[in-house]
Amino acid sequence: MAEEKKSSTSSGPSGIGRALSELLAPVAGFGVTFSNMFRPAVTEQYPFVKHPTAPRYHGRHQLNRYPDGLEKCIGCELCAWACPADAIFVEGGDNTPDGQYSPGERYGRVYQINYLRCIFCGLCIEACPTRALTMGNDFELAGPTREGLIFTKEDLLAPLKEGMLAAPHPMVEGTTDGDYYRGDVTAPTSAQVDWVAEQRPEDPTLEAAGRAAASDTSGPSARKGAK
């Protein structure tokens, strides 16, 4: 008697409803798929089309230069001390009359950033006293080897802009590192160009730097001439 009752229950209206719901369940799932098939595609065609980053995006680091070509880094190691991931290694060196790489007494002789450790927090940028270290928008830092993700000074140093004179060379005559920091130096001077021409006559930046020195109307040399 119990078996007959069970059989009648499973074959009743409720049993048929459950069977239909189970049959139509995959159809409902495909309905979501089909509805999205006709919507505009949102896939980015990377790397052929790259989505622009935010203006203040924390990307690849850069070691900056002053307008005359000298490096801003003074080898103080504050960025390395501020790094919570211990990703930065700096070794300072002394500037000499024949090897002046930055204004003042010292420069960053060795500079490395290990992007296997870097968390892109930006604390190194805040610690830098001369704004030598900044972060750009470049996010393509993947590589085939671990060694390739340890960037050296040559990898991080900003390229020379038109009119800059490649270091080493003397500071602008009569200026201090404070004058550089305040932006008083706006271009190389003819004295700097002459020094490099004597020491490195084949330097490829001489011609453009000479034109920049001749056309500079706001730098220290121009003010001296006006006096």
Is 21 annotated as contributing to ligand binding? no
Residue 130 has pLDDT above 90, yes or no: yes
Sign of the alpha-carbon dihedral angle for 143, 145, 150, 151:
negative
Rounded to whole angstroms, how far apart are CA atoms 217 and 64? 23
- Higher-pLDDT residue of 226, 160: 160
Confidence band, pLDDT 50/70/90 cuts, at residue 227: very low
Is 78 annotated as contributing to ligand binding? no
How do 61-63 and 150-151 pair as beta strands? unpaired
Model pLDDT, residue 226 = 44
Is 167 annotated as contributing to ligand binding? no
Rounded to whole angstroms, how far apart are CA atoms 113 and 135? 12
Residue 225: burial class (beta carbons within 10 Å; 0-12, 13-18, 19+): exposed
Is 173 annotated as contributing to ligand binding? no
Give residue 58's Cα distance to chain centre: 7
Tell me 201's DSSP state: T
- Number of residues that this document lists for the chain: 227
**pTM exceeds 0.75, yes or no:** yes
- Higher-pLDDT residue of 39, 204: 204
Q: At 71, list the tokens.
A: 């490096």
Tell me 88's DSSP state: E
Is 118 annotated as contributing to ligand binding? yes
Percent above pLDDT 70 for the chain: 90
Q: 165-204: per-residue pLDDT in tens? A: 999 999 999 999 999 999 999 999 999 999 999 999 999 9
Rounded to whole angstroms, how far apart are CA atoms 91 and 70? 18
Is 116 annotated as contributing to ligand binding? no
Residue 126 has pLDDT above 80, yes or no: yes
Which residues 6+ apart lie within 8 Å of 116 measured at CB? 87, 146, 149, 150
Q: Which of 179, 150, 201, 155 is nearest to 70 (CA)?
A: 179
Least confidently predicted of 33-47, 78-92, 161-175? 33-47
CATH number 3.30.70.3270 is the correct assignment for the domain at 61-217: yes
Rounded to whole angstroms, how far apart are CA atoms 148 and 84? 22
Is 128 annotated as contributing to ligand binding? yes
Is 68 annotated as contributing to ligand binding? no
Q: Which of 214, 211, 219 is nearest to 172 (CA)?
A: 219
